[in-house]
Amino acid sequence: MAAYNIDSCQLTNVTSKESGTVVYSVATNIDFSVSSCTITCQATYDISTIRNTLAIDSYTTGGVFYFSGADQLTSSDNTYQKCFTGDKGGIFTLINVNKLTERGSQYL
C-alpha cells in the first residue's frame, strides 16, 4: 500500500471550482494523512453571503480533499477554517473510502 503525508503546512485561499483543491485522488490502496496543518479556504467569513450561496445552491468551491477508493485517511491536529461553500463537502469529499480517522482537528 502506498502512503502519502502532508505535515506542518499552512495553506491560505484554498479554493477551486472543482473538488480536490489540494488533493484529488481516485487511486485505490492508498493511506493518506494530513497533520499539524492550518488550512484556510476563504479569506473572509460573511454570514449573509454564505446564507445566500447555500439558499440558491450557488456553490463556488469544491472540497479541499477528494478521495474515491482510498483505503485509509487520517486527519490529526489540523485547523480547517472558513471552508463553507463546497457543494460536496467543504473539506472532505469521500467516496468508497474504507476508513477515516480524525484526531484533534478544529473546524472553524
Domain count, the chain: 1
Q: Which residues pair with 38 in a beta bridge?
A: 10, 79
Q: What is the pLDDT of residue 42?
A: 77
Instruction: Provide the CA 78 distance to its chain's centre, in angstroms.
Output: 11
pLDDT tens figures, 26-82: 999 999 999 999 999 877 766 776 676 666 655 555 678 889 999 999 999 999 998
Q: What is the pLDDT of residue 32?
A: 97
pLDDT tens figures, 2-17: 999 999 999 998 876 6
Mapped onto helix, strand or coil, the DSSP state of residue 56 is coil
Q: What is the pLDDT of residue 61?
A: 54
Q: Which domain holds residue 89?
A: 2-107
* Residue 44 DSSP label: -
